[in-house]
Amino acid sequence: MNLHDSLTRKTRRFEPLRPGRVSVYGCGPTVYDFAHIGNFRTFAVYDLLHRYLRWRGHEVDFVVNFTDVDDKTITGAAKAGRLLGEHTETFVRAFLDDAETLGFLPFSSHPRATAYLPAMVAFVERLVEQGSAYLANDGSVYYAVPSFDDYGRLSGKGGDNDAGRARIDTEDFDKRDPRDFALWKPAQPVDREVGAVWNSPWGPGRPGWHLECSVMSTSLLGDTIDIHLGGEDLLFPHHENEIAQSEAATGHAFARFWLHVKHLKVDARKMSKSLGNFHTVRELLDGGYDPTAIRWTLLSAHYRSELNFTRDGLDDATASVQRLLDFRRRVRDATEAPGDATGLAARVGEHLAAFGRALDDDLNAPRALAALWTLVREVNTALDGAGGTMARADREAVLDALAEMDAVLGVIDLAESARKVAGADEERVQALVEAREQARASRDFAAADRIREELAAEGIRLEDTPDGTRWTRVRAGP
Ligand code: AMP
Ligand code: ZN
């Protein structure tokens, strides 16, 4: 399997450092607000990687932190008139709920930065002792960027004549170099107000954001991890700084592969509250969209390509998911034809292999989905040709392949768990479909049309086939 590593800028063969066991750290949400759909694009890629590594037979230690102390969480708590911990807990819960709604496999752990203060202080002490960090006049401890030769290797940025130097005389006068960044910040009144103050050898204060990830990663996963993930905006300075401080502190390479997820746009524009194109998962659900369609949309583009999130795209995703579910139902309900497996079972195996190869190639989800649709088309053609019948072994091969693919995609599974909730609804639709068939059989076409219209208003399309009426959900109901 190959992954694209942002550090070497190469797509390289991936093997975990410890055979069979992969360690992954993904920068998690800053819990000052509900995570938006852009954040969830990145997190959906985490879930895809998590599922894929397990699918390929690895044990996976997958850590996704909560950034529960930084400027935004402190400001947010102060505005809400709450303590930091109370404020962030709301959004920790919301994140976990949304992740479950979108069918994420539980990650191995979700450390909160505030639970790692002693380790953070020890980490900074080590950096100060060895001359990689210094205490400035303003009471901050800064990482000394010039002490780290490799600084800038990840981003290609951060040379000492980069833009930062212009600011040195104004806000950052206590730094020795404009690129230096705070590991420890002295307590401000607002920090005290919300209870974001911890003791340290440098006085009361709080950790810097970059430090948090290095400490949680090395504490939970060891000095060197296999894969570090984040959105593309984190590459610089966040990840550059993580590398500098971690490698200086441990003397070992920090991450063997760096994966960066390209940002999601909404209606081809950068998402922003002022443009009114800012969506949270819960708003989309309130708008009638199905979690499965959201998940499908987030997974449909390659993680290094742009994903343009639109209502039309969500409608297409809704239809794609429904098509997949309808297909599975058609296969499951197919009348059993006598005889052994035909060539179909072998071809299904080939499509499953193509699906795996696509993911092996730097998680190429769109190509994996193409393999899935090829399978669907081919099996549908075979079913059409055989009057809707299928040999038992063929049917098992198809259903097994779908289940295998879904172990990575997680959409059928998610739809079915949603279905359980909506099961009553499903039965009602089925009953209406049957009532309409009866009305048609007794030539009461007006009644049949009324039912069709009623269902159409709910986003359900009927298709009359020689095998009976099939129904599909073309969009979420009102
Ligand atoms: P934050 O909560 O701001 O710390 O961000 C959490 C994660 O979401 C980070 O990995 C970000 O890089 C990522 N992220 C933020 N905005 C977007 C976006 N528009 N598209 C994809 N990922 C994003
Ligand atoms: Zn981070």
- Please state the domain count of the chain: 3
Q: Is there a domain that residue 6 lies in?
A: no
- Residue 457 confidence (pLDDT): 78
Are residues 322 and 215 part of one domain?
no
Q: What distance in angstroms lies between residue 63's CA and the mean position of ligand 2's atoms?
A: 11
Instruction: Give per-residue pLDDT as tens, 171-189.
Output: 556 899 999 999 999 999 9
Of the ligands numbered here, which is closest to the C-alpha atom of 42? 1
Show the low-confidence residues of the chain (pLDDT under 70).
160-173, 419-424, 474-478
| CA-41 nearest atom, ligand 1 | 21
Tell me the C-alpha to C-alpha distance, in Å, between residue 117 and each of 32, 112, 259.
19, 10, 27
- Provide the residues around ligand 2 (an ion) whose CB is within 5 A: 27, 213
Of the residues 208, 230, 261, which one is the last residue of a structural domain? 261
As given in the structure block, the two tokens for residue 136 are: 């400035």
| CA-229 nearest atom, ligand 1 | 10
As given in the structure block, the two tokens for residue 109 are: 């752990």
Contact between 255 and 25 under an 8 Å Cβ cutoff? The reply is yes
Contact between 295 and 314 under an 8 Å Cβ cutoff? The reply is no
- Residue 161 confidence (pLDDT): 59
Q: Is there a domain that residue 33 lies in?
A: yes
76 lines ligand 1 (CB under 6 A): no
Contacting residues for 355 by C-beta, under 8 A, at least 6 apart: 368, 371, 372, 405
| CA-31 nearest atom, ligand 1 | 2
Are residues 331 and 216 part of one domain?
no
Of the residues 237, 261, 285, which one is the last residue of a structural domain? 261
233 lines ligand 1 (CB under 6 A): yes
Q: Is there a domain that residue 4 lies in?
A: no
Are residues 273 and 156 part of one domain?
no
pTM above 0.85, yes or no: yes
| CA-67 nearest atom, ligand 1 | 4
Instruction: Give per-residue pLDDT as tens, 255-292.
Output: 999 999 999 999 999 998 788 889 999 999 999 999 99
262 lines ligand 1 (CB under 6 A): no
Q: What distance in angstroms lies between residue 154's CA and the mean position of ligand 1's atoms?
A: 19
- Describe the chain by its helix, strand, coil percentages, rounded to 5: 50, 20, 30
Q: What distance in Å separates the CA atoms of residue 361 and residue 357, rounded to the nearest whole number?
A: 6
Bridge partner residues of 69 (DSSP): none
Q: What distance in angstroms lies between residue 27's CA and the mean position of ligand 2's atoms?
A: 4
Q: List phi, psi (to 5°) of 361.
A: -90, 75
Contact between 292 and 316 under an 8 Å Cβ cutoff? The reply is no
Task: Identify the domain containing residue 204 by its residue range.
Answer: 14-261
Show the DSSP H helices in 163-302 as ranges: 189-194, 209-221, 240-250, 281-286, 291-300
User: Candidates 228, 233, 236: which one to mutate for ligand 1, based on the most atoms within 8 Å of Cβ?
Assistant: 233
Q: What distance in angstroms lies between residue 356's CA and the mean position of ligand 2's atoms?
A: 30
Q: Is 276 exposed, middle or buried (0-12, 13-18, 19+ CB in 10 A)?
A: exposed
- Residue 368 confidence (pLDDT): 98
Buried b (16+ CB within 10 A) or exposed e, 293-324: bbbbbbbebbbbeebebeeebbbbbbbbbbbb
26 lines ligand 1 (CB under 6 A): no
Residue 66: CATH number of its domain? 3.40.50.620
Are residues 242 and 93 part of one domain?
yes
Residue 379: CATH number of its domain? 1.10.730.10
